[in-house]
Structures are given as C-alpha cells and as structure tokens.
Amino acid sequence: MNIDRRMFLGAASLVAAPRILFAQAATERRFVFIIQRGAADGLNTVIPYAEPAYASARGALAIDPGAALKLDGTFALHPALPKLRELYAGGEATFLHAVASPYRDRSHFDGQNVLETGGRSPYQLKDGWLSRLLGLLPRTGKEAIAFSPAVPLALQGAAPVTTYAPSTLPEANEDLLMRVAQLYEPDRQLHPLWNSALEARGMAGGKMKGGSGRQDTAALGRIAAGFLGRADGPRIAMIETSGWDTHSGQDARLAFQLRGLDGLISGLRDGMGAAWAHTVVLVATEFGRTVAANGTGGTDHGTAAAAMMLGGAVQGGRIVADWPGLAPAQLLEGRDLKPTLALDSLIAATCAEAFKLDPERAVRTLFPDASRQVAVPRLLRV
C-alpha cells in the first residue's frame, strides 16, 4: 500500500512531578490538555510500521511490527499502550501524526513557550492559550486550580488560578487546620487563599494524603477524575508530564514513559464515570525527535511528532495523517519528520467543537498571530 502523502481517516519518569490544573465552566463538556515536556518521540509512539523507510531510518530503535499494537494497515501503537489501543477499538481515540507548532528551532524552553502561549515565536505573548480559552467560556463559582507549586504558562493570564500541590508529608490534623484558619481569618489576602486550598482538599476526597510517596499514574488519573467528574467540579484541566527527552537509552525510557501515560489515561477514564462521555483529552508535545538514532541509543531534538485525542466525546477509531514519508529526500532538513498538520489548527478546532465556539473567534483568541489555518476533519461527536 502506498502511504506517501495520503490522508488516513478511519480520522526522571512520567510523573516525577505531576501537576494538574483545573477551572470550572458552565458546560457539561470536559477538556483536558496533557503536555509531554521534553519532546516525545512520535515515531515510536504512533508507529508507521508500513512506511517503507521506517525500519531502515530508525535502525536499532525500530519497533518490531510483530510486537506493535496494530491500529490499521499502516500505523500501530507502542506495545506499552494497551489501554489506549482499547480506547481506539472502542471509538474513543484518534491519533494524529506529523503534527507541529510553528516553532522550528530545538530549545525545550522556547518550544514549550510557543506551545503554551500560542504565539508564533518565543516570548511573543505573555499569557497562555488555555487562559484565553477560559475567557471565552461562561464560568460559575470556582476559580482555576493548579495542583502545582506554580501555574504553568498555558494557564497564566486573566483567569484566576489557585495552586494546590500534593505533599508526601504526613497529613495535618483537623485541629491544626482550624488553628491556621483562625490565624488567617483577619488577613484579606491569606484568608481567601486558605479557604481555596481547603476547598481543593475537600474536593480531592482524601485521595491525596501525604506520607505515601510518589503517586502512581493510574492513581493520578483517578484523582483528576475525582475533580472533573463532579457535577459542581471543574470543566477544564491541564496535566503536565515530564521526562520525554530521550537522548540516550530510548527503548527502555520511552517504554516506561508510555506505560505511565497509558496508566494515567486509564485511571482518568475509569474514575470519570458517566462524565467520560463528555470528556476530550488532548495530548501534545513541544516538538518531536530526529528520525535517525544517535550514537547513544537515543534520538535528538526534531520537529514533527504525534498528538492524541482521547475521550468519550471524541469521534475516534481513526488515524489522521497527511503522511510525508521517511525517505531521506522527504525529511525536513534531511533529519526530521516533516510537519503536515499545524498543532495550532488542531487545538483551535478541538476547543471550538468542544465548547461550541465560533471557529474564527476561537482561532483569533487562542492563536492571534496564527497563519492560515489548515482544515481539520471533524474531531468530536455531535
């Protein structure tokens, strides 16, 4: 089968420091943005096993087609993603390939800045596209909340965000909490912040008790679901994952990362209950990795990567890829997977569909300096 330039429509650890961010909107639709910090290798996540040049281009890093989890006659998932394969089979996952933001250099910091702000170049914009999205939605009652010592750039902006970081310290008793509340009560600044922190603690339902060490990824997903699944809970979330910079020993490291991601999504799905039917999860990274391996069994910073859309609201069971090919003459600068789908277009289209926004207004707000938007096939269920 010739897959060159064909549109396929059928459409450190992962949680070394997991951070989750939420904001409430007056809608049943839930939107979760998961960022893979460190430049995830899309070619060995969503594997183009039928691409004629894949095995030779990847060399020792090529995934054996016999071990990969087949999606269709062209693409497969890494063996560490069985739960995502189940979602795909159930029509609740779409995988998109050769995706990239406008950024074309190779700095993690600059690439993440472009991805999170929605600018055309690093530090062009000062707030995040996710914060600007909040400004387009009717909001009731709750502020945005960050399970993090600090608010990530994607949520920085006019929309207020409260931070709440899980602790491994022993849980404070109720008497101490009451005394601190009394101490802060006269203070105009600390009193509302403390109340907000206690409210977040209550919403967690005791699932984030200290003293147990690092959370496993499935538990992290269930914790996030505990917030998002509530009728009075948040409707928008961001989850940060790190550890995707696989310059060496990529086989074992990438498998570990992907098992974590698989568990995170599985825990989120299992914990959401009926709310999963209204949920859209978008997974993306700042840029991809080189097609060829380097001398230490890893890959270096590249350009295009893979993105994922998951959830009960997703019109799934599809691969979306205007595939550019992996032959030497088809690579960007002779080394990278060439981008054929703009991440800006994907994000704007997803948000517009999810929240029934005017597509043009969504693009202008989230990506004010975006170039001409490429048409994206319908992504969500009506």
For 16-43, write each residue's pLDDT tens digit: 445 566 666 667 899 999 999 999 999 9
Per-residue pLDDT of 320-364, as tens digits, reads: 999 999 999 999 999 999 999 999 999 999 999 999 999 999 999
Beta carbons of 167 and 17 less than 8 angstroms apart? no
Report the distance separating Cα 241 and Cα 112, nearest Å. 12
More confident residue, 161 or 88: 88
Six-digit token string for 369: 């300096």
pLDDT for 209 beyond 70: no
Q: Which residue has better confidence, 255 or 187?
A: 255
Q: How confident is the model at residue 236 (pLDDT cuts 50, 70, 90)?
A: confident
Taking residues 228-241, what's their average pLDDT?
86
Between 88-97, 195-204, 230-239, 311-320, the lowest mean confidence (pLDDT) is in: 195-204
Instruction: Give me the mean pLDDT over the 366-372 stretch.
Output: 87
**For residue 260, pLDDT beyond 70:** yes
Q: What's the pLDDT band for 252 if we cut at 50, 70, 90?
A: very high
CA distances from 95 to 32, 250, 255 (A): 16, 22, 18
What is the pLDDT averaged over residues 71-93? 98
CA distance 40 to 242: 9
When pLDDT is cut at 50, 70 and 90, the band that residue 234 belongs to is confident
> Do residues 172 and 183 touch, judged by C-beta distance below 8 A?
no
User: What's the pLDDT at 114?
Assistant: 98
Residues contacting residue 202 through CB under 8 Å, at least 6 positions apart:
none
- In this predicted structure, what is the pLDDT of residue 95? 98
Mean pLDDT of the chain: 85
Give the pLDDT confidence score for residue 226 in this predicted structure. 85
Q: How far is CA 229 from CA 38, 161, 194, 200, 221, in A?
A: 29, 19, 24, 14, 12
Provide the CA 308 distance to its chain's centre, in angstroms. 8
Span 219-233, average pLDDT: 85
In 3D space, the residue among 1, 269, 18 whose CA is nearest the CA of residue 152 turns out to be 18
Report whether pLDDT(155) > 90.
Answer: yes
> For residue 6, what pLDDT band results from cuts at 50, 70 and 90?
very low
